[in-house]
Structure 1
């Protein structure tokens, strides 16, 4: 019994000594900067004097918009989608029903008519 208590005490002291390591203090490290102190101070002064520096984005009105897509392509896609047959009907719209699209796409018919008319007019 005495041996087991002695071993337990030794193990406990070993665990306590392993966890009791303190950090070493290396002092204050020097800051590393590629810019001079005068440059930083000048930028801080310009930033502090800037107008509307505390105004959140979007509170000054709408920001300029730059489109990334071709407007004609977007318009053609919108027309084709708006004229798609059965666009608001799904297979689950009615019980035991299937969607069979028998209507031609009106936008495609109009485009084909314009192409046919343009080719005969030339």
Structure 2
């Protein structure tokens, strides 16, 4: 029993070794640039002196913003949105992207309640 397991393990090992093939190394890719060394050096110096062109927002400091809307209009819109009970509902948060009917009920109730 042990000998058969040992032979089976050895056979599987040889199969695995035979199946594994290493990728061949073809060296460094050939140079395909048409620019000369002096042109590349000139471009490198110009790029180094230009600074970090991708850091416009991070290093710009405080930026001013001029709004076209009136302050009272913005405040009135914010108050209306804050008092809207359905203002924060996003249909994508519900099953099949549809707001349930329970959320669409009118605010006003036409049923009478007993007074105390």
Q: Above 0.5 in TM-score?
A: no
Name the larger-Rg structure.
1
Give the TM-score, by structure 2 length: 0.43
Tell me the TM-score normalised to structure 1 length.
0.41
